[in-house]
Amino acid sequence: DAGKGEYDHYMLKEINSQPTTLANTIEGRVQDGDVVFEDLPEGTFADVETVQFVACGTSYHAAMYADQLLRSAGIRTDVVRASEYDSMSGPVDENTLVVAVTQSGETADTLDAVRTASANGARSLAVTNVVGSTAARETDDAVYIRAGPEVGVAATKTFSSQAVTLALLSQQLAADVPDVSPPEDSDAMLESLDALPGHLETVLENSNAESLASDLIDSQSFFFIGNGLGHPVALEGALKFKEITYEHAEGFASGELKHGPLALVTPETPVFAVATGSDSKTKTNAIEAQTRGAPIVAVSPDDNPLVDVAEDHLTIPDTHPVWAGLLANVQLQLLSYYAADELGRSIDKPRNLAKSVTVE
């Protein structure tokens, strides 16, 4: 318990440590405008034609984030739930890079998927937090997210560090893979990365997530929507919420709300709408839910048009859209934490869950 310091739970400590842990993740990895990973020299991915991410849980959401970034750079990529790898992987060969995204490096489903890919000739890379973990040892290369040990079962700081590491890795892939070039706004994205720990500090100091959680805690279900890079953030927001509050929460791509979930929407189902860039689908679909009585909470910068229609707002500083999703996610981490605290849940060790699942 001494390790919790001034905090009631490891989870809150870990959420609050993110300005420091992210600074650690970033340190030395952007030099003179270029991405630098020790042990992965420039050109190391020159033979890669296809990328395939495999991951579970929160790590899967970080992988979804990276998958979108690679897609927008024009790289053929896929993200596969590790537990479904046997049925979903499709063909791989020596020009396929399989990226195992796993905080612990010990998740059985992820290890099994990457072993299958390697046996079929793919090149493998682990993106992990744990030096010497099974994933790091068994793959061809490893990149460390440098988030420090995470005690709370619900992943928080490791998600942020994974997403940043993967965004940087996407830049290197886009630079190395032939006939592909990094997206036009890459320089702006890399330049704005230095400010991210400071923006996180701002979110942590000013968040109104605690009072919002208290206002909404008696609701029946909690929905999280987002499109583009907001989609994985919405899924992660819902996962975090259900993991530690034991309340019913679901995440959707904004446009999917009307294809079924809308039947569940009532004044008792607040909708947290992650809007971090040019996500007009999120606003129109949030309004559909609002028309059915659902309170809308915009998770967005102040100038997002969604703020004008939403009942409540979890604000984030203005930054590059790639980093904005991570700031929105921290607001949702705080929301889940305070909701679970109000309900008196076992926050650091939620029932039925394990930090690392070593069985398939």
Site residues (vs ligand G6P, CB under 6 A): 56-59, 102-104, 107, 110, 153-155, 353-357
- At which residue do the structure tokens 């030395």 appear? 28
Beta carbon nearer to ligand G6P, 19 or 57 = 57
Rank residues 69 and 154 by Cβ distance to ligand G6P and give the closer one.
Answer: 154
CB of 105 to ligand G6P, least distance (A): 7
Q: Which residue is nearest to ligand G6P (CB)?
A: 57
* Closest separation in Å from C-beta 356 to ligand G6P: 5
In the complex, minimum distance from the CB of residue 100 to ligand G6P, in angstroms, rounded to a whole number: 8
Q: Closer CB to ligand G6P, residue 107 or residue 269?
A: 107
Q: State the greatest distance between any 2 C-alpha atoms of the chain, in Å, as a whole number.
A: 54
String of DSSP letters for 209-258: HHHHHHHHTT-SEEEEEE-TTHHHHHHHHHHHHHHHH-SEEEEEEGGGGG
| 110 versus 186: smaller Cβ distance to ligand G6P | 110
| Comparison of 38 and 351: residue with beta carbon closer to ligand G6P | 351
Residue 106 identity? E
Distance of CA 316 to the CA centre of its chain: 16
How many beta carbons lie within 10 A of that of residue 360, not counting itself?
10
Active site residues: 355
* Start-to-end C-alpha separation, the chain: 31
- Type of residue at 142: A
**Nearest distance, CB of residue 7 and ligand G6P, angstroms:** 19
Cα separation, 193 vs 323, in Å, equals: 8
Which residues pair with residue 251 across a beta bridge?
224
What pairs with residue 43 in β-bridges? none
